[in-house]
Structure 1
Amino acid sequence: MSVPTPLGDYSHLLPPSWKSVITSWLAEDTPSFDYGGFVVGEGEEEAIMWGKSEGVLAGVPFVDEIFAQLGCSITWHLKEGSAVSPTKETPKIKVATVKGPARCLLLGERVALNTLARCSGIAWKSRRVLVKAREAGFKGIIAGTRKTTPGFRVVEKYGMLVGGVDAHRYDLSSMVMLKDNHIWSKGSITQAVQSAKSVAGFALRVHVECQSLAEAREAIAAGADIIMLDNFAPTELNAAAAQLRQDWVQSGGEESEKKAGAKRCLIEVSGGLTEENMAESLCPDVDILSTSAIHQGVSTVDFSLKIQPKAK
């Protein structure tokens, strides 16, 4: 599988708080005495990080900061977003070289490898799903979901971006997503959308989860920016998306937008979509396909860190 080059340095996206999160990871992993560190001491050592299973390298800034906080330096031999591709002839790939006091290398070892393994696994799954969708002719957006691990969201969302997919909303403040519980509590889709728009203003999109074509039409009429066709069977999904697109065309389509300032509501599809079954849902009338399959239950990429023996 060809691996496209990432569009930029995603580390520039990281929030000001992210380095303090890493401090907490290190504190959690060694909350009291460092007994193993006593054994190895503070002598300067060099360690090689090896990639031992197929994947996409992701999580470089997190690993950089883990070792920086421990007084170690790291040199990467692969760029973030590159393929990690061991073969039978080359069963492990040299990913990075880390230098520093032996005790500090080992303090960072497991925290760094766990973070890199998880982030790279998400990037690899995201890339596979994206490539498969493009090969099937889908030109819309492939996105993750907010079903991320508390405390580890920044890493998981970062992995999606490196993998080439859309990270979707980051948190509850990022977009107004009205789901079934919001609608049931408020009384109707129309009331829920109107209530959301009264406080969200122009800066936030309003996104409505819909269980039927009738609900989707009500959400669009109420002013939703995005409607999600949730848990539709593939045949129902294709028919509903096509009908909603036809509604827009019959109302004047692009010419109506130019004249009246109207806009077409984006159509998102979600619910039980996986790498194996998503092809049935990749119809041309869908703008966004979102799935938690790119970050939940994903296999990690296998990395190891080995201190190099000194020449005798």
Structure 2
Amino acid sequence: MNGEEVLCAYEKMLLIRVMEERISALYKGDIIPGFVHTSIGQEACAVGALTHARVSDVITSTHRGHGHVLAKGLEPDRMMAELMGKVTGANNGRGGSMHVADPRLGIFGANGIVGAGLPIALGAAFAAKDRGEGDLVVAFFGDGAIATGAFHEAMNMAALWKLPIIFLCENNGFSEFSSTADQHPVPISARAAGYGMESITLAGNDVEAVADGIRPVYAQVRGGSGPVFVEVTTLRVHGHYEGDPQVYRDKDEMARGILAADPLTVTRGRLRERGIGDDVLDLVDKRVRAVVDEAER
């Protein structure tokens, strides 16, 4: 990524972060109904993975999908209105936090059921291959979805039919309240080998590493050679749900991880190294906060 692209990525990640921090506060104040799951700490996964996406490409998401839909281009005011159950929301207020969708932007929906976005991605990829216009699908899911039947069925059929899907696993180390190490006997990326599928693992808290690492995957999948499995290793700062006390995590280890791997801190440091001053970064911060304030209003 060049300096301009990194600055653009930083602004997108900051938008996701500030939106979710605001959503968390509003949820605690009983302004947002239902359940809320945030992706704070995982912003580089969404922004980096979708840097090369077209509007006509499709994504499917998870119950932790705010970052994915914002990175794909959903307007912040329409997402915030959706979470508040308003008719001006992306789905007329009927979907809420876990079911945000906008097919006109290729957003085929977040999903409250673990792994349930994968069969939807399969159908979208089948249609994309039939159209023959080079579009593809990015299916976001967490490490917990690896244990579902839908994951294996989708991987099997996508590999068999050489469908244009990037299976993108955000491995944040925890599925609900259990660590990944307690649930899987082999590395997650090794699952792809069983279906004859290529796999790569990327540093999910580094937006440049994700964007640059996934670039050739886009070209390969668009070229018709079939699906690719991409694992991005990342960090879930908040719990499984907003208000989760996270008694299952070591607080000191978690604090060290957040300090070392915050994608915004990492990217801001890189921008400074490239000569982008704090005056420019502060203007970006001001612009983003104005957007979020307006979305809330």
TM over 0.5: no
State the structure with more CA Rg: 1
The answer to which structure has the higher helix fraction is: 2
**TM-score, normalised via structure 2 length:** 0.30
The answer to which structure has the higher strand fraction is: 1
